[in-house]
Amino acid sequence: MLAYRISGTDRTLTCEDIPRPNPLPGEVLVRITACGMNFADLLMQKGTYQDTPALPFTPGLEISGVIEALGPDTDGPTPGTRVAIFGGQGGLAEWGCFPANRCVPIPDSMTDEQAAGFQIAYGTSHLALTHAARLKPGERLVVLGAAGGVGLTAVEIGAQLGAEVIACARGADKLAVAKAAGAHHLIDTDTQDIRETVKAIGGADVVYDAIGGTQFTDAFRATNPGGRMLLIGFASGDLPEIKPNHMLVKNISVHGLYWGGLLKTSPSVVTDSLAALLKMFEAGQITPHISHVLPFDQVPEALDLLRTRRSTGKVVVQTTP
């Protein structure tokens, strides 16, 4: 089968012909139909992601596909079932073996492409806003990187939860996508000052930050007393400086949210969250935004869309058209 691999110490991504795997006990063999791309895939290639596998490995954190076989003595969905799986790796291949307990059956109304990019983005935002920040209706939510893979879902879910959403992104085109997802206020980070603009609107009660760097600092300074800061990621490549004395004086909390970590330490919390999200999807309350769907031979181009921030929402690679 064909698979993209990172094998050498130069960490070059290459397409290789490797043996198709056989499922072990507790695993399922899946014919992969689509793979959702994430910023973490770029970090894995560089070796800087917190869960980077040992060399050699196949990147691709989340997939959709069809179960073809169960491993020995394995309970799981029957062969032929369409599923979405967060595997943490192995997605950029034609077939893969994954833990059976990671399989999430896909509703008939959800496409393979939507399913492939659903779990991480929506799961991260849903748990960040409901479990960590406990966002309440009427509160003011600032989303940094509001047109990105996770940021756009935060806008959408925040609006569904009744928050007043302030979307921060670069340029009119990306802000238009955030507005369509439910944002009430728009801030162009290329031309507007986040701190002053947010304060003029009334300040932030919750900040959802997938960017880091100076944007975190500006949003922190616009956060109201008792506010909550959500650390989701650092797409800017710049870790923000957090001043604990300012947190103390303003009674501000800072929460880190790593969805993959919760999947390991609190799986029932993640399972309940995904069940709630699938109900929201089937009710038409959330609609996954995919800006680019690329064929399997254009994986480098898919990663470059993330690297250069030319995408909005999700980028998905079709393994099987």
pLDDT band at residue 228 under the 50/70/90 scheme: very high
Domains, the chain, in order of start with CATH, read 2-118+288-318 (3.90.180.10), 120-260 (3.40.50.720)
Joined together, the tokens standing for residue 112 give 């393979």
Q: CA-CA distance, 159 to 173, in Å (whole number)?
A: 20
DSSP 161-177: TT-EEEEEESSHHHHHH
pLDDT band at residue 176 under the 50/70/90 scheme: very high
Q: CA-CA distance, 210 to 145, in Å (whole number)?
A: 6
pLDDT above 70 (res 321): no
Q: CA-CA distance, 295 to 228, in Å (whole number)?
A: 40
Could you tell me the CA-to-CA distances from 302 to 36, 292, 306, 309 in Å, in that order?
Answer: 10, 8, 7, 11
Q: CA-CA distance, 72 to 247, in Å (whole number)?
A: 53
Strand partners, 165: 141
pLDDT band at residue 9 under the 50/70/90 scheme: confident
pLDDT above 70 (res 197): yes
Rounded to an integer, the average pLDDT of 199-220 is: 97
Could you tell me the CA-to-CA distances from 206 to 120, 130, 216, 226 in Å, in that order?
Answer: 20, 11, 12, 9
- pTM comes to 0.96
Quick one: pLDDT at residue 8? 86
Number of H helices, E strands in the chain: 11, 15
Rg of the chain in Å (alpha carbons):
20
